[in-house]
Amino acid sequence: MHRLVVFVVPVFALLMACEFAWGWLKRRNTYRFSDTLGSLSQGLLSQALAVCTQLFQIGLYAMVYPAVAIWTRPSFWDSALGWILAVVLFDFFDYWLHRAGHESAVFWAAHSVHHQSQQFNFSTALRQESTVAFLGWAFYLPMAVVGVPPEQFGLAGLIVLVYQFWIHTEHIGKLGWFDRVFSSPSNHRVHHAVNDGYVDRNYGGMLVIWDRMFGTFAEETERCVYGTRKALASFDPLRAILGPYAPLLRDAWHTRRWQDKIAVWFKPPGWRPADVAARFPEAPFSLEEAMRIHDPQLTRPQVASAALHFACWVGVTLAFLWRADDLAFQIGLALLALAVGGFWSIGAVLDSKLRLRWAWVAQAALLAVSAVLLSS
């Protein structure tokens, strides 16, 4: 499965290049250098983490399957109808996981990584979460009960995930009847927007009919403003992944009632106990403030350094994915830690918080150790 990702990456890169070229020709570019590197860094880190967390990716599903499956008929699941049903089932349960990712604070803390970009383009599609798998695996267990084989479950998930790549674009308008049945660019722009009328809408991965059935559909009627209501304002990958948990930990620690210490994690995002809301007040959401783009001005050496080091870590991560099944678990963890350090250094340069000389020293050491581990 990991090697399949390696084959798909060049296709995604070509499609991003085509989208950028189209935007440049139409004088409507939707890419920014720092934002794109930030999003792609998150995607690569999520794939590297997936290598080290197979238990949550598909392991638990495979462990439970033999004990609970009630329709284990290979002749059916190998048929065209079986494959269609597996994909539809995955999309259905993914709708509920995705919905939980917006309506429960701890799930939102994990999922919000995907929404942090203030741009909306193909690179945003690759800005995948790293920690959702730890929380979301249970949502798919009904598929094991029905009898979907583990391998087919994994491929159905990949199909649903890959489908969603093309709907992350501003260059495709409304598509008529297609928008009423399937997730489309118009529907998904709404999902990524922070406008009042768009928040927590259009969760469907492949099919938007789930949203229409369960009352979470909204049509695109006004310009979308992208990002999160509490802007990340950073290209630090660790801050992007771990930062959303910090307010939950703070409120759970300071609130007096034990019920509230638990409720903080499961109530909708933004809910706060009255005592900590009074003690640590927060400014209300402002759409005008959300429209301010975080884009520190970079020098040419900073741009060149970030681009070169990012290219190096793309190579390291793809090599890691290619060799994932042959590497010891400890080696995989070490490579993951090194990748985190490498992408953190790139983010610090993009935020102008790390001098280039120290970035080059850090990257040289991290890349050298990675090369040794990959050659072992």
Question: Does residue 50 carry a pLDDT above 90?
Answer: yes
Confidence bin at 233 (pLDDT 50/70/90):
very high
Which residues have CB under 8 Å from 313's CB, separation 6+? 41, 44, 339, 342, 343, 346, 367
Res 189: pLDDT = 98
CA distance 127 to 232: 14
Res 6: pLDDT = 93
Res 57: pLDDT = 83
The two tokens of residue 35 are 């934002």
- Report residue 102 CA to chain centroid gap: 13
Res 351: pLDDT = 97
Res 376: pLDDT = 80
Question: Does residue 174 carry a pLDDT above 90?
Answer: yes
Looking up tokens 């967390």, which residue turns up?
A: 53
Domain positions in the chain: 2-214, 300-374
CA distance 258 to 58: 35
Res 4: pLDDT = 87
CA distance 7 to 145: 32
For the segment 131-163, what is each residue's pLDDT rounded down to a tens digit? 998 999 999 999 999 999 999 999 999 999 999
Percent of the chain residues past pLDDT 90, beyond the cut: 93
The two tokens of residue 150 are 């583990």
Question: Does residue 1 carry a pLDDT above 80?
Answer: no
CA distance 101 to 112: 8
Q: Among 295, 292, 172, which residue's Cα sits nearest to residue 225?
A: 292
Cα 295 to Cα 213, 230, 368, distances in angstroms: 39, 16, 31
Question: Does residue 122 carry a pLDDT above 90?
Answer: yes
Res 56: pLDDT = 85
Q: Dihedral of the CA atoms 152, 157, 162, 164 (nearest 10)?
A: 140
For the segment 175-212, what is each residue's pLDDT rounded down to a tens digit? 999 999 999 999 999 999 999 999 999 999 999 999 99
CA distance 188 to 301: 36
Res 198: pLDDT = 97
- DSSP bridge pairs for 226: 193
Q: Are 272 and 251 in contact (CB under 8 A)?
A: yes
Per-residue pLDDT averaged across 37-61, rounded? 94
CA distance 164 to 183: 8
The H or E element that residue 330 is part of is helix 329-350
CA distance 160 to 360: 39
CA distance 73 to 131: 33
For the segment 334-348, what is each residue's pLDDT rounded down to a tens digit? 999 999 999 999 999
Residue 182 backbone dihedrals phi, psi, to 5 degrees: -110, 155
Amino acid letter, 306? A
